[in-house]
Structure 1
Amino acid sequence: MASSFLLFQAAAVTSLVGMTLGWRGVMTKYSGFYDLPTAWSNVFWGILVGGVYASYSHNAILAPYLRLVMDGSSAIPNPFDLVLVCLATSVAAHFLLRRERVRSGSSHPTSGWALGLAIGAMLGMIHLYRVFEGYDTLLSMKLWITVLGIGIFAPRSEALICCFHGQLMLQGRRWGAVLRSTFWRCAYLSMFAYAVHSLLAWVFIIPFVLLVNRRADEWIWDSIPSESKKRLRKMWARQVREQRESLQRGHESE
């Protein structure tokens, strides 16, 4: 297998690609109608929180699980460690989404999406590095399915959790948001650890993420002020008209 430096670079690039896809999927759609500086601030904090979260989740959950299923170790991952890591991350995300600059613009869902993308990218990077280390060759279909799955869906899963957390905070359900985020974070972290060992996990992960992803548009839409919604509808209508006119001109030129 390649050197540790190259493996780390491959893991980092894959996670950044997944983070970019997550940004383009939602944040680009509403570009200009949310607080972009606050979103980028949350990306920075997400990298810091995500680095700690990824390191502890690897040491407490992923590494013991892989030793259990691959080496026959008698030690099993401690469920208390799983809950503690996920709860601490949810509390950290909660306090970041309680900052004045987030509350003043009611940008909890968009800030949560940006925060979650960064946290998930860091988680994916650390876990992917461990995945690469576990293979003797790059010519493995299972390896690349796992790499693509974690690289794409780890940032998006965290983004969905943090966006949902922000939506609940907008509704005034502050500590309920922490508990729900902790539950979903425990669930997806367990499934991603299982996915490193078995491709069957993606049969459950992918449909669920795609299903919940539809709700993200609703959560972000609810956070946009009424005047901005009107301008956004007008902009979308204008874009549709321009596309139709360009198609008509293309047909006429033929």
Structure 2
Amino acid sequence: MASGHDVVNEFITFQIAAVCGLIGMTLGWRGVMTKYSGFYDLPTAWNQVFWGILLGGAFASYADSSLFLPYYEAWLTGERTPELNAIRLFLVPLIATIGMHFLLRRKRVRKGGSQATSGWALGLAVGGMLSIVLITRKVQSGIDGVVDVATIVLIGFFAPRVEAVITAFHGTLMLRGKRWGAIFRATFWRAASLTMFYFAWFSPLAWVFIIPPILLAQDSAEKWVWDSVPKEGRRRWRRMQADKRREKLAPARVDHRPSSVIISAKTSEE
């Protein structure tokens, strides 16, 4: 039976991981999703967050037990374990990708053509759950210095965003009619990102291979979300932007007459 002290430590560890994961999800929502807020199917996107938490929790837990722990054991012992193999590395992300594919194929998503926005929301939730599990493991193993703190912060920030980019790309390919291509491409990138995050857990060098691609994919992600906005929403957004530009460019009503003329005009009025 666990002692009270252990229970408190586990609770604090989970709290730290959960806060980091939720902050990462919130920051991932801002920017891409808030830019076009009100012009896409927001209720459906929020519904995907709920399902993403459930699916992401199962995915992160299973990946932790079947992929991360064997990887962790191999790192400590220097010997490759039988459980750590390429088949399992692609099978686990494939199962998660198929689950996400079915969520993005739901009628309410297809009806509004909101696969990209729903994919971004779904990916944020899945990535948030993944970051919570990884951060929990990091805190449990002990935080020795600045590098470990930076690792926790970076995992909390980038894990939701990476999953959001992958799942939004998945939704965009579905919108273009490439269903099988969406599954296989998303599986490949999900397996690659999972491998890099596990590597980043041990070595800061991994961030060199994580951060630049995500920054480069930011513009593409905004385009995917824009493609998922209905035509009427696009027209309203363009009109709103045009109105804002006209307001900025409108000349200020300033009296440019010489001061002497203004003074004489005021005197005559008196």
Per the TM alignment, residue 27 of structure 1 is displaced from its structure 2 partner at its CA by 1.1
2:185 maps to 180
Where do 5+ consecutive residues of structure 2 fail to align?
1-5, 254-270
Contact 1:120 1:156 survives alignment (8 Å) = yes
Contact 1:39 1:114 survives alignment (8 Å) = yes
1:44 maps to 50
Amino acid of the structure 2 residue aligned with 1:227: E
69, 79, 87: which one aligns with 1:80: 87
2:266 maps to none
Residue aligned with 2:31, SS: helix
Distance in structure 2 (CA, Å) of the matches to 1:8 and 1:19: 16
Residue aligned with 2:217, SS: helix
Residue aligned with 1:55, SS: helix
Per the TM alignment, residue 60 of structure 1 is displaced from its structure 2 partner at its CA by 1.4
Would you say 1:222 and 2:221 are equivalent positions? no
What is the aligned-residue identity percentage? 53
Per the TM alignment, residue 226 of structure 1 is displaced from its structure 2 partner at its CA by 2.5
Residue aligned with 2:108, SS: helix
Contact 1:168 1:174 survives alignment (8 Å) = yes
Stretch moving more, 189-198 or 80-89: 80-89
Distance in structure 2 (CA, Å) of the matches to 1:56 and 1:244: 56
Structure 1 residues 66 and 100, CA gap change in structure 2 (3 angstroms): same
Distance in structure 2 (CA, Å) of the matches to 1:126 and 1:96: 23
String of CA shifts for 1:58-85, please: whole Å, max 9, x gaps. Answer: 1111111122112435416222221111
Stretch moving more, 34-43 or 69-78: 69-78
Amino acid of the structure 2 residue aligned with 1:165: H
Contact 1:46 1:119 survives alignment (8 Å) = yes
String of CA shifts for 1:110-164, please: whole Å, max 9, x gaps. Answer: 0000000000000000111001111155xx1111111111100000000001100
Alignment of 1:43-62 (within 5 A): 43-62=49-68
Contact 1:60 1:78 survives alignment (8 Å) = no
Per the TM alignment, residue 4 of structure 1 is displaced from its structure 2 partner at its CA by 1.5
Residue aligned with 1:3, SS: helix
String of CA shifts for 1:67-112, please: whole Å, max 9, x gaps. Answer: 2112435416222221111000110000000000000000000000
2:132 maps to 125
Aligned residues: 246
Per the TM alignment, residue 241 of structure 1 is displaced from its structure 2 partner at its CA by 4.8
160, 164, 171: which one aligns with 2:176: 171
* Structure 1 length-normalised TM: 0.91
Distance in structure 1 (CA, Å) of the matches to 2:48 and 2:39: 17
Distance in structure 1 (CA, Å) of the matches to 2:19 and 2:9: 16
- Give the CA RMSD over aligned residues: 2.0
Structure 1 residues 6 and 236, CA gap change in structure 2 (3 angstroms): same
Would you say 1:160 and 2:143 are equivalent positions? no
Per the TM alignment, residue 242 of structure 1 is displaced from its structure 2 partner at its CA by 4.8
31, 37, 58: which one aligns with 2:37: 31
Contact 1:61 1:193 survives alignment (8 Å) = no
Contact 1:55 1:126 survives alignment (8 Å) = yes
Would you say 1:68 and 2:74 are equivalent positions? yes
* Structure 2 length-normalised TM: 0.86
1:115 maps to 122
